[in-house]
Amino acid sequence: MWSLTFVTILALGSAISKTINLPNNDTEWRYSFEVDYENNQFLLDGKPFQYVSGSFHYFRAPRQYWRDRLRKMRAAGLNAVSTYVEWSLHEPEPGQFNWAGDADLVNFLNIAQEEDLLVLLRPGPYICAERDLGGLPYWLLREVPNINLRTKDADFVRYATSYLNQLLDKVTPLLRGNGGPIIMVQIENEYGSYNACDTEYLDILKEVFVKKIDNKALLYTTDGASVSYLRCGFIPGAYATVDFGTSSNVTSSFQSMRLYQPRGPLVNSEFYPGWLTHWGETFQRIKTSAVTKTLREMLTVGASVNFYMFYGGTNFGFTNGANGGKGVYNPQLTSYDYDAPLTEAGDPTDKYFAIRDVIGRYLPLPNMSLPTASPKGNYGPVLLEPVLKLLDGRSPFAVIRETGDQPKTFEALSVNQGFVLYETNLPPFISDPAILRATTKDRALVYVDDRLSGTLSRIDKIFTIPLESPYGRRLSLLVENQGRLNFGNEIRDSKGISDVTISGSPLRNWNMTGYTFSDVSSLRNVTTIRTESGTLHSGPVFLRGQFTIDGQPLDTYLDTTGWGKGVAFVNGHNLGRYWPLVGPQITLYVPAPYLRTGENELIILELEYVSQTRKMKFQPVPNLGTMNLTQT
């Protein structure tokens, strides 16, 4: 194997594997990650290496829990962690980069190395990951409304290259060739599942990576395990890997990989021990026996494996994405528990220990104590008092106001996530009942003279409703972005309303108000107001309550049973969306770092229905709804 030249390696499909020459310095000689094509294996620092990795996305857990989750992964026998890097988190507006707090990627990578884990880095620019717009920043749709995402479109390449250069400059010291933990860096993400099939775009991206990474880590691609995916996802000069779950045949899946990667180690870059769940579905679960059976088959043939997900975490705030296309729309839950080996709260499951037992037959297990479930807080019920109507003209959350002949998109209004209120006057002479029609992305509460008249829903394909008393003068539509599409060919998923008509006549002259909720502290000193329980006919309302914690705060779960649809905040932290009527998720995960000893505050924005008790409770067990055992 030592006689392989760089040219030979290129011919075999990897521009990143090192030429085997005398070292230039001690660091370069000591640290390396490369492909031994002759023996179909990886070499870590010159020695044969097989990895068993797990996906954990740093942006789905508070930074205070990064080390805990990584340590539990190592205790399971994993020797690497895989993480996506979310462009939208790190560049929320053009040229405004964020690498601090929960976005401190470098800190996450350093902790991984301290916990004896190597890193598979997946920087995108597109990541899917069941995140809003697949991790792409919303402002791409504002700056260039007709942008061709994930192609050689000059604007997309310019923005993506700027982001990647910023990111790669930060992680360069952490590449394996520099003594760091990053052994592999992925170019793009499952590009074969995107119909653009733009090889020029992939070549442009590859050059960005090669320039920054050189031979200090291995560049790779990931695609579904079939020729149709690999055909457009394969990048000459990067190592081609595949992904598949328990329902796939291991031999045939790796045969597909071999068509594009004839030599080198076998790799499953996304092996699914669980699955994602959308609102309105039963919670998806995969049997442990199916996971361990497929894992044994892969490890027996010497394959390297990455579990997707090993720890799922939470889509805090409004960060969840959606699946769909061609008229179908299915947003994901706030919880990203994923039926993973570690639960949303980081607790080990039976699946965790079963996987560890299998890994121990093939790789040495670390001498570490095994994790146990952490204690949870039972903080009881909280009485919630109404304090502000969202549509009140004095609302501090109404931060964007514009007018226009036609309704503008969220993106054109610079509203990333959340809600926009569209208002106009109805014509004086219309039929009774009048038929309101609007293309809606994604859900709209319809009011006539501040009185609820109905709901439009992209999920349910409801784009028309009768206005049974069309004598009112003011029409208002409160539109919620329920998550931009994160996968498929229609990810350019602008939000808002369009083609709005009343009994066939277009409606014009719109007032638009955008709402943001980055800071809800203004509600702390607001006096209570009167509002109805039950259906909120006069619009959404904020409710506030206090609860006390004695001693050190513990993780807990907020039970939303009996409420309608809304968003919950604890001590200013946005826990995400709740929707118990639709389910399956009923509770919201509350990490202990969001709590404090003594007085705590719960604020909710309820959109549709106030519980008759006006209470929510903090309980020690989650409720993600009925679990559907599948072999997905």
Catalytic residues: 190, 270
Q: For residue 601, give the nearest of 525, 535, 536, 528 by alpha carbon.
A: 525
DSSP 93: B
Cβ-based neighbours of 247, under 8 Å, separated by 6 or more? 290, 631, 632
Choose among 33, 182, 202: nearest CA to 112.
182
Three-state SS for 472-530 is: CCEEEEEEEECCCECCCCCCCCCCEEEEEEECCEECCCEEEEEECCCCCHHHCCCCCCC
| Amino acid (1-letter code) at residue 448 | V
Quote the CA–CA distance of 259 and 497 in Å, as a whole number.
Answer: 46
- Give the C-alpha separation, 16 to 371, whole Å: 37
The count of other CB atoms within 10 Å of the CB of residue 631 is 10
**DSSP code string of 538-570:** T--EEEEEEEEE-SS--BEEEE-TT--SEEEEE
Cβ-contact 570, 546 below 8 angstroms? no
3-state secondary structure of 51: coil
- The answer to whether 109 and 171 have CB atoms below 8 angstroms apart is yes
> 384-405 burial string, b = 16+ CB within 10 Å, else e?
bebbbbbbeeebebbeeeeeee
Angle at 82 between CA 114 and CA 357, to 5 degrees: 80
What are the strands, taking DSSP E only, across 344-425?
380-383, 385-389, 398-404, 418-425
Query: Phi and psi (nearest 5°) for 562?
Result: 90, -5
Report, in angstroms and rounded to the nearest whole number, the Rg of the chain calculated over CA atoms.
Answer: 26
Helix (H, G, I), strand (E, B) or coil at 385: strand
Question: Which tokens belong to 463?
Answer: 């784009």
Question: What would the two tokens of residue 85 be?
Answer: 């890097």
Q: How many of the other CB atoms lie within 10 Å of CB of 35?
A: 26
Three-class SS of residue 264?
coil
Q: Among residues 217, 45, 245, which one has the least CA distance to residue 120?
A: 217
**Which H or E run includes 202?**
helix 199-213
